[in-house]
């Protein structure tokens, strides 16, 4: 499934079920809770890690929709930006960005 379709279906589900569609701060809070659930599933080797990561994506997609963003376009733009950046390790072995683009 492509990102745009997932974003649209996630939004339609929120509308159909009467979930939050206006309170951006609440949605960020719920997203944070879902990230915590995904971390717990990973840390405890629970079988629902994939489902929890999907929840994170769905909340993120809803936030994009609430803010009038096409998440697919934003992801593509960010990947392209990251590809243009360069990094080098400093004396401590930590990667340091050496170019902005």
Question: Among 8, 9, 60, which residue's Cα sits nearest to residue 32?
Answer: 60
In contact, 95 and 88? CB cutoff 8 Å: yes
Q: Which fold has domain 3-97?
A: Helix Hairpins (1.10.287)
- In the prediction, which pLDDT does 10 show? 96
- In the prediction, which pLDDT does 5 show? 95
Residue 101 scores a pLDDT above 90: no
| Whole-number Å distance between alpha carbons of 81 and 79 | 5
Segment 11-39, tens digit of pLDDT:
999 999 999 999 999 999 999 999 999 99
Question: Among 26, 87, 101, which residue's Cα sits nearest to residue 59?
Answer: 26
- Please give the helix or strand (H or E) that residue 43 lies within, else none: helix 24-43
Residue 100 scores a pLDDT above 90: no
Work out the percent of the chain whose per-residue pLDDT is above 70.
Answer: 100
* Entry pTM: 0.87
- Per-domain boundaries in the chain: 3-97
Segment 35-84, tens digit of pLDDT:
999 999 999 999 999 999 999 999 999 999 999 999 999 999 999 999 99
């Amino acid at each position: 499934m492509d990102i745009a379709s997932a974003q649209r279906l996630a939004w339609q589900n929120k509308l159909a079920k009467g979930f939050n569609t206006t309170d951006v701060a609440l949605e960020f809070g719920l997203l944070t809770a879902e990230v915590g659930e995904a971390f717990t599933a990973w840390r405890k080797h629970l079988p629902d890690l994939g489902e929890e990561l999907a929840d994170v994506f769905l909340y993120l997609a809803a936030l994009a929709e609430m803010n009038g963003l096409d998440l697919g376009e934003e992801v593509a733009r960010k990947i392209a930006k990251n590809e243009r950046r360069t990094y080098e390790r400093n004396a401590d072995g930590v990667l340091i960005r050496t170019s902005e683009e």
